Chains A and B, each alone.
Chain A
Amino acid sequence: NAGVTQTPKFQVLKTGQSMTLQCAQDMNHNSMYWYRQDPGMGLRLIYYSASEGTTDKGEVPNGYNVSRLNKREFSLRLESAAPSQTSVYFCATQTSGSSYEQYFGPGTRLTVT
């Protein structure tokens, strides 16, 4: 039972390059999330998916796109990376029903030069 997994763990991109961050869960949760975490800024929600087939913007969606491929997988795409997107990215899932507990993947450290 792996919980929430993310790939890759580390990535260095040049400005303007694109990449996709992958997230998968085996917790059978409906809701999935992408956050970024920057020093002094805390966790900021980029996009979320309340259920398979739906996605919604969070606080900081500009420069990102997402795909909810199926119940298990939720990917985050940077079409044209910018240095401001240097951050640690976390995927999370949320328990179904009324408990609202979120569980995080190990994170992807992205540097854009």
Chain B
Amino acid sequence: QKEVEQNSGPLSVPEGAIASLNCTYSDRGSQSFFWYRQYSGKSPELIMFIYSNGDKEDGRFTAQLNKASQYVSLLIRDSQPSDSATYLCAVKLEGRDYKLSFGAGTTVTVRA
């Protein structure tokens, strides 16, 4: 079992819709969770982090964490063509203070 798993996509959504991305992780003791956005040919950019169960909102982005079910999700509301990118989920695994484990990423395409 991979430490962090994401649906590879591609996920295609119409402009203005909600894009929903999911990520599951294997280590029940994980405490810190991150979402990165990566445009084609560019480096990953941190867009959200969440440490506590529940929802965290930042503009059009909402991260949702459910530790009991070991998943973290990212919602993109009012999706724009500029949201077209690959989204990477990253998890700090328990006992590995200096390392994050990354999922392979979900590619999102927003159709105008």
Interface on A for B, CB 8 Å cutoff? 31, 40-43, 45, 48, 50, 56, 58, 90, 94, 99-107
Contacts and interface: CB of A to CB of B under 8 A. Distances in A.
A100 B34 CA distance: 9
Interface in B65-102: 88, 90, 92, 97-100, 102
Given A50-B97, A104-B45, 14 more contacts: A40-B104, A42-B88, A42-B102, A42-B105, A45-B99, A58-B99, A100-B97, A100-B100, A101-B34, A101-B46, A102-B46, A106-B42, A106-B43, A107-B42
Interface in B36-61: 42-46, 49
B77 to A, nearest CB: 23
A61 B102 CA distance: 17
Contacts of A102: 34, 46, 90, 100
A90 to B, nearest CB: 6
A101 B32 CA distance: 9
A90 B43 contact: yes
B103 A42 contact: yes
B104 to A, nearest CB: 4
Nearest to A103: B46
Contact of A48 (B42, B88, B99, B103): B99
A40 B43 CA distance: 16
A104 B92 contact: no
Contacts of B32: 99-100
Contact of B98 (A94, A99, A104): A94
Nearest to A31: B98
A101 B49 contact: yes
B103 to A, nearest CB: 7
